[in-house]
Amino acid sequence: MRMAFDRKTEEVRRADLIIGRYKSKPKSTVPSKLRASRNDCATAHCPQLSLCYSLCMSARLLDGLKIRDQIFEELKVETRELAAKGVRPGLAAVLVGENPASQIYVKSKIAACAQLGLASWLHTPPASVATEQLLQLVRNLNADYEVDGILVQLPLPAQVDAKRILEAVEPAKDVDGFHPVNLGKLVSNRPGLVACTPAGCMEILRRYLIPLEGANAVVLGRSDIVGKPMALLLMHANATVTICHSKTRDLPEVVRRADIVVAAMGKAGYVQPDWIRPGATVIDVGTNKVTDPAEAEQLLRNFPERLEKFRAKGSVLIGDVHPDALQVAGALTPVPGGVGPMTITMLMSNTVKAARWRRVSNPAVAGD
């Protein structure tokens, strides 16, 4: 009985803290009656505290498009400064075959180069290309002084050894941040080119002034592209980091202890709202296309406008975190419009950085 009472007291204390934080926000959009009922509910030790959260809280949206625009303006300034020194950063993209999704991604990256005044080149080997042929193309790009960044769009055809191709890219031109040398620099916290998606997540956290030092952070996913570099970046920012994966025991309870949750598992709506500690910051890396009506109904039952759009279009993008987490988290990246825009943004940033390091300054002494 004592333990149950202490647990309830702690829940009420947390509710009071959240209420206080909520009341301090300017220009509240929640009706005064609802704010009053929330306060009455908490002070009365209401047994339905989770319901209070869902009714009364709404996470601050961490807008990746806004951050993208800020960084683009900064990159335009740096690009002009490099141009004054006779340097025009350049990105070479390699698109193998005719994968429709890959074509869209590469087209967006080339368009971003044009927007920022960067040079760009597109190489389109056929889907039948052999590993050795692709390796030769990479060697040629490595030797081209005007090319500062090399992007090999994934996935590659089955007959191509993707690992050999990625490791053939010169580390100084590896703007995707996938090369073992750049991963090693990240481990040792030395200047290098960092994988774009986790670097973008860090920009969102920093520019929205999310406290990182001393925070408990949970990263869901351990891929070389997102999970591992994300954990390292958070650790270097003095967060205490836990990496979770398919073998993690009692995953919901581990996530509930986190001040910051980064979800990168590739499963639509996998992280449930009751896994999120009220007031936590959620970075949702997932971009999952949902086409099944039953799944969409379940995920969007509290979002009628999005559900109507799904019914009209036949598909919807859902993150790795259940959309209802919006009513529990303190801050959250939306899907779409959150982490997604930051990946191309950081690709552009890495290209400009590579040009500066290669052609203007020494990367051994240059800062980030």
Which residues are the active-site residues? 109, 153, 176
**Sign of the torsion angle spanned by Cα atoms 269, 273, 277, 278:** positive
Pairing state between β 331-332 and 60-61: parallel
Q: What are phi and psi of 150, to 5 degrees?
A: -120, 125
Show the 3-state SS of 127-177: CCCCHHHHHHHHHHHHHCCCCCEEEECCCCCCCCCHHHHHHHCCHHHCCCC
For residues 347 and 146, give the distance between their C-alpha atoms in angstroms, rounded to a whole number: 17
Q: What are phi and psi of 74, to 5 degrees?
A: -65, -40
Answer whether 62's CB lies under 8 Å from 340's CB: no
Strand partners, 290: 316
Q: What are phi and psi of 40, to 5 degrees?
A: -60, -40
Q: What is the crossing angle of helices 32-43 and 2-23, to 10°?
A: 160
Question: DSSP label at 277?
Answer: P
